[in-house]
Structure 1
Amino acid sequence: MTAHPNPKATPDPDANPDANLNATPDPRPNPSVKNWLRERSELGVGVLLFLLGVLVLTDALTLDTDVTGRGPVGPATVPVVVGCGLLVVAVLLTVDVLRGGRGEAEAGEDIDLTEPADWRTVLLLAGVFLSFAVLIGPLGFPVAGALLFWGAAYALGSRHLHRDPLIAAALSFFTYGVFDKLLGVPLPGGPLMGVI
């Protein structure tokens, strides 16, 4: 009895070296590379932080600073520190991800993703911020800021119509006093500050 060769057996690549030259390459990306990148998606955050750090440093180092006599800290100091910090965080995050570190999934959020977006709140807040931008010039920061704080509280669901305006006014006047009087950052006072 003689053995017949199996027609379904795989051909020996050493038998015909030109057999693999005519094979069509697979146009799809290598699934192992795609899976590797998907499992390390935090690398995108590292790249973004690195690019942001380079941008901040470039802007800080090309800043036109013709200021003398103000002490050792100039206007470029804080942007340089922030840019260096962004670069350090980007490198540390990238090294951690490449070593197998992964961010934990957010477990504290109680969000129903099937619910539609609350466009009423978004539009109310947008209207409040736009009104503040329009009213800060003629009314000044204390009045426009009080309307901003009260409107934001109302848009976000607070319905204490007697308490909220008082808290908003106190917060607005306190903010105006801290920035305009204590820190020396001029804010428009409006006609109300001319009377007081």
Structure 2
Amino acid sequence: MTFPANPTATSAVLGERLRLVSGPGIAALLKGLTMPVIVAAFATYLLIGILTMRVPEGAAFPGPQFFPGIVTAGLYVFAVSLAITAVREVRAMPDPLTAELLAAEAADDDASPPRPVRVDVRSLAWVLVSFFAFALLLDLLGWLIAATLLFWCIARGFGASKPIQMLAVGATLSSLAYIGFDMLLGMPLPSGILGGF
């Protein structure tokens, strides 16, 4: 059986238990707080976009800021819950001697202990760079192309191995989002090069 390069993708597919390898104390806390900080930064980026959005004076409720506001609030809640979980995990970390005893007991009980893993920097880079590229190129490429590429890059970051299939899925999802927002809700999304800017 072969495993994807990204161990978290293996866990999601096979249900394998993973344990993040980290140093004691502050180092472990910093590693645990990396993802909450990234999520909060992205939520802040969205919040700035919502606050600087030009809304017509006669816009009826819910308006163009309503749904992005819900997404932003959800991201902040998610970031806080991730941070709380990280702090709890660091506080619950046993000292090295206790960890060795627990591992020995697990081996005696024929239960496999969680497999140690590290943060996959390559996967994290795929996700972060694709979000920044999406934000920078959205007006130029338009929603359909930019969102399709964003989906493909994130799927690639999580270990997807079928690029053509991921492009097809990304194009389908971005098209459905375009139809939902632009045509049904009347909230135009950038058409970019497909619409002649």
Task: Give the TM-score of the pair, scaled to structure 1.
Answer: 0.42
Which is bigger in relative contact order (C-alpha 8 A, separation at least 6)? 2
Structure with bigger gyration radius = 1
Higher helix share: 2
